[in-house]
Structure 1
Amino acid sequence: MTTANTFKNDLPALRILENEHNYLSYLMDGWHAIVLGFERDIYTEEEAREAIKTLRKLIVEFIEPFKNHTEKEEGILFPMLSKYIGDEQGPIMALEEEHEEIDAYIGHFLHHTLGDMGALSLQQMKDVVKDAGEAFEVIIIHFVKEQSIVFPMVINTLRITEQDQLAEELHTSII
């Protein structure tokens, strides 16, 4: 049963980002189920081969909307906030580092699943899938940090005109 997500924020800019987080979480749920299957040892070697192909396909489909989302944060949101809180340390720097960490996990997974996976043993597939699981965990924690630290900063730091400008600039599709 699917339930409608309710927005936690009234500010239009934050609703846009929150909606993107919800959409990306929905996409991630699809591939995380496969990761959990590997962690729980539910696959035979042949099933694992099919599962890892599906996992790769789902992650590839996830990349573009995720990249579009992070580019909006790094190109619009973070620079706007950094005028007030800086970006040499603190939350903006930490979030940008997490973007890089997520890219590294996904890139490592994609690199090791490129081409014929027929030569991979079940254990090798499980090892490779761990990168997708790590990416999932970092993204989930990342979203929580943004919503609990950065979102309040937007409300408490940016002027109303800046909040309006932020909403206008963020109002683009990630898909």
Structure 2
Amino acid sequence: MMQEQPSCFSAFAEPPTTYCTALRQLLDEHPLLREQMEAFQRTSLDVKKDIEEGRDGKTNMVRLHEQLQSFVTDIDPHSEREEGVLFPMMANYIGREGGPIAVMEYEHDQAKRHLALFFEEVEQKSIAELPKEAILKLANYANVVYTTLTDHFAKEEQILFPMAEKMLTDEEKESLQQKIAEIV
């Protein structure tokens, strides 16, 4: 009988029971970000409903704009902690091209791109001047951010952070903590 060969990530199949301080901080930042994402997702759906029911959607679009501005204020430092510190440390072990780090960076880029598109279009014209088609397009950008980051957080929590906890040395975890503490 042939035994099944373990995959290169099988050592990370069981999540750790505890996390180092730095990874715990990154994990603990997710609930607030998720709350903000749920709020702007509800508002983007309200915008679409407004349009479908014959309203202009502009009141909800103003609220969506405010929610996304607040979200960016909180997500940017979180992303920098990951992209600028955690991902490079992990890339030393698993590489950056292909695999989990490439996926994480791609998803960060997708979310940032759609946020940038949202803000660029809102800044080109005031919300009051936007036609319904543009308002629907803006609501869709928010939906893409929500979907991308919802899946992204799940991957971090189920794969990336457990992998980091198991692969990084105690010295690297201490360095990770010191470096992410510098990002405000």
Tell me, yes or no, whether TM beats 0.5.
Answer: yes
Quick one: which of 79, 84, 88 aligns to 2:97? 88
1:165 alignment partner, SS class: helix
Q: Which has the larger radius of gyration?
A: 2
Which aligned pairs between 1:91-130 and structure 2 lie closer than 5 A? 91-114=100-123, 115-130=125-140
Whether the 8 Å CA contact 1:76–1:169 is kept in 2: the answer is yes
Whether the 8 Å CA contact 1:16–1:170 is kept in 2: the answer is no
Percent identity over the alignment is 27
Whether the 8 Å CA contact 2:48–2:136 is kept in 1: the answer is yes
1:113 alignment partner, SS class: helix
Return the alpha-carbon distance in structure 1 between the equivalents of residues 53 and 99 of structure 2: 42
Aligned match of 1:69: 78
- Compute the displacement of 1:29 (Å): 2.3
- Compute the displacement of 1:40 (Å): 4.0
Whether the 8 Å CA contact 1:37–1:43 is kept in 2: the answer is no
Root mean square deviation of aligned Cα: 2.1
Which aligned pairs between 1:21-60 and structure 2 lie closer than 5 A? 21-41=30-50, 44-46=54-56, 48-60=57-69
- Compute the displacement of 1:69 (Å): 1.0
Q: 1:142 to 1:82 in 2, by over 3 A?
A: same
1:17 alignment partner, SS class: helix
Quick one: which of 123, 143, 146 aligns to 2:153? 143
Residue ranges of structure 2 left out of the alignment (5+ in a row): 1-16
Return the alpha-carbon distance in structure 2 between the equivalents of residues 93 and 13 of structure 1: 21
1:45 alignment partner, SS class: coil
- Compute the displacement of 1:61 (Å): 1.6
Return the alpha-carbon distance in structure 2 between the equivalents of residues 73 and 139 of structure 1: 14
Does residue 162 of structure 1 match 2:172? yes
Return the alpha-carbon distance in structure 1 between the equivalents of residues 138 and 171 of structure 2: 47
Q: 1:44 to 1:50 in 2, by over 3 A?
A: farther
Q: Deviations over 1:35-92 (max 9, x none)?
A: 122344476524x101101111111121122111111111110111111111122111
11-20 or 33-42, which deviates more: 33-42
Return the alpha-carbon distance in structure 2 between the equivalents of residues 101 and 166 of structure 1: 25
Opposite residue 117 of structure 2, the aligned amino acid is H
**TM-score, length basis structure 2:** 0.80
Q: Which runs of 4+ in 1 moved over 6 A?
A: none
Return the alpha-carbon distance in structure 2 between the equivalents of residues 70 and 37 of structure 1: 28
Return the alpha-carbon distance in structure 2 between the equivalents of residues 16 and 118 of structure 1: 40
12-21 or 22-31, which deviates more: 22-31
73-82 or 163-172, which deviates more: 163-172
